[in-house]
Amino acid sequence: MDRLFQPFRMVGHTLRNRIAMAPMTRARTPDGVPDDLTALYYAQRATAGLLITEGTPISATAEGFLCIPGLYRADQVAGWRKVTDAVHDAGGVIFTQLWHVGRVSHVSNQPGGVAPVSSTARIARDSQAWGMTEDGVPGAVDVSRPRALSTDEVRGVIADFAQAAANAVAAGFDGVELHGANGYLIEQFLNPTVNDRTDAYRGDTLEGRTRFVLDAIDAVIARIGAERTAIRLSPYGGLFDMQPYPGIEETYLFLADEFSRRGLAYVHLMDQKSRGSVAIPPDFLGRFRAQYTGVLILAGGMTRNRAETLIAERLIDIAAFGEPFIANPDLVARLEQGWPLRPADRGLHYGGGARGYTDYPTYQQESA
């Protein structure tokens, strides 16, 4: 039952263990450029077999959260190079998560205050972004009504994903993970209760609703190679007004087969039960595992015991931990040694400086 801490061979990389740090928004870059503090934060956690960065917007219009680092400008590429160099110097492997929030945005997040874009013009009900409030300060704001992308504009967004992937490689990343989970743009195409299009990317057919994600994946592969390309998905998730639909299993098992054919670095599933949404049914996880032949990562409410059980049962290959990594930069050692986990101060998750970001001690520092 110690496979969690043993080296693991992923396409193109040998990971020091089967633990991944899941992507987490931290909102520490007011100018959108990673800096020395960002580099320190990720280097501190480089004992994870795989680091996956916070979501990185692929364009100015992809943003839905203030103070997050992007990957579409030269200064951002240079800033991320500091991060990847620091992680590689610490012996780590790091992928970045390419992000387009689609309709989960606010006009204050958009260049010139324009409407966010999506697969649809339907607003995400009961959903909030992190933008400028009416008082002129950062805070939670109701999302703005989106504008549906034209067919040509959809192709432009796909090109943005490919360019951001090339930028990631130029910044020294080992690969990229497309954010296809949690109600953001890719899932806005995948879910037919949201996608009301009538063009080739329409939501009422399996081929139509999966076309956007597959076209984006293929464009990224064409730029940087399949071994550097991965994706995150959240089957059965309900965040940001993602409603259930009869074809969920058909849709995601179809994608499992398509991703197997393409030889991706990995597929990363997000179980949203820990986020107050619906859990991935255990029987579905088994069917997805049988259909998808590559490396499979699972995140969401992960514990050591759950990770070891799922790996032993060959349902997953890598276990991803999110929030525990915030207050425990030495999470791998704490899990392996059975040391207690330090709780994070959730009031310091977003924004600010080093406090609640790079100042959490290791267990040995605590015990000194």
- pLDDT tens per residue across span 23-65: 999 999 999 999 999 999 999 999 999 999 999 999 999 999 9
Q: Tell whether domain 8-348 is in CATH 3.20.20.70.
A: yes
The yes-or-no verdict on residue 176 having pLDDT over 90 is yes
User: Does an H or E element contain 36, and which?
Assistant: helix 36-44
Which positions ≥6 away from 30 have C-beta within 8 Å? Answer: 66, 67
Q: Which two tokens stand for residue 180?
A: 């296809």
Contact 175, 95 (CB under 8 A): yes
pLDDT at position 279: 86
Higher per-residue confidence, 139 vs 100: 100
pLDDT at position 47: 98
Annotated catalytic residues are 184
pLDDT at position 165: 99
User: Residue 97, by phi and psi: left (phi above 0), alpha (psi -120 to 50) or beta?
Assistant: beta
The residue written with tokens 């969401």 in the block is: 300
The amino acid that residue 7 corresponds to is P
pLDDT at position 1: 55
pTM comes to 0.97
Q: Which two tokens stand for residue 48?
A: 């994870």
pLDDT digits (tens, 9 = 90+) for 227-280: 999 999 999 999 999 999 999 999 999 999 999 999 999 999 999 988 878 889
Q: Where are the strands (E) in 228-308, listed by range?
A: 229-233, 266-270, 296-299
pLDDT at position 356: 97
User: Does an H or E element contain 258, and which?
Assistant: helix 248-262
| CA gyration radius, the chain | 19
pLDDT at position 2: 78
* Whole-number Å distance between alpha carbons of 4 and 262: 27
pLDDT at position 238: 94
Mean pLDDT of 307-311: 97
Average confidence score pLDDT of the chain? 96
Contact 259, 268 (CB under 8 A): no
pLDDT at position 289: 97
User: Does an H or E element contain 132, and which?
Assistant: strand 128-132
